[in-house]
Amino acid sequence: MTIRLMLVAAMLACDTGCAKKSDWIQDTLVTVDVTGVWVGSINYSTATLYVKLELEQHGPKVSGSLRVMSAGTAGPTGTLGSGPVEGTVAGDVLTVRRTNGSFGAEMTVNADEMTGRSGNSPISLHRASSSAKP
C-alpha cells in the first residue's frame, strides 16, 4: 500500500513538472523576426505622432533606437523624443521600451505589420526595411 501511494505521488509530481515545462517553452518561443526599420504612428487623443524604430534582434532580445516626431502638413517635422530601446519577443508579441525615457509599447507582429498600444494610445507600424542600420 505504501509503495502504491509513493508511485501515485511520483506520477503527480512528474505530471506537474511537465506542465510547467510547456509554459516555459511557450513563453520563450520566438516566432517572428523584428530586425529592420519600422515606421508608423501613435494616435494620441490630441495628436498623431510619427514613429521610427530601428531594431536588431538576437533570439528573444531586441535592441535599437527610437525617434518620435510631431506631425506637420508635409509629414514628420520636429523630433519629440529619441533614444535607445530594448525589448523582448515572445511568440509574436514585441515588448519594447526606451531606456532613457518613458516610451513603452506592446505590439503584435504579423509579417511586416505591428499593431498594439503605447500606454493607452494605439500604435501601428510597418516594416520599411528588413535590415537595421549598421
72-130: pLDDT as tens digits: 544 555 566 789 999 999 999 999 999 988 889 999 999 999 999 999 999 999 999 98
Task: Please count the other Cβ atoms lying within 10 Å of the Cβ belonging to residue 117.
Answer: 13
Q: Could you give the CA distance from residue 89 to residue 82 in angstroms, rounded to a whole number? A: 21
Helices of type H across the chain: 2-28
Which neighbouring-strand residues pair with 66?
Answer: 53, 83
Instruction: Give 16-52 as a DSSP string.
Output: HHHHHHHHHHHHH-B-----EEEEEEEE-SS-EEEEE
pTM, full prediction: 0.73
Q: Count CA atoms within 13 Å of residue 31 on its CB side.
A: 12
Taking phi over 0 as left and psi of -120 to 50 as alpha, with beta for the rest, 131 belongs to beta
Kindly state the cell numbers that stand for 83: 533614444
Residue 130 confidence (pLDDT): 85
Q: pLDDT digits over 29-63, tens only?
A: 778 999 999 999 999 888 889 999 999 999 999 99
- The type of residue at 87 is G
Q: Could you give the CA distance from residue 71 to residue 8 in angstroms, rounded to a whole number? A: 65
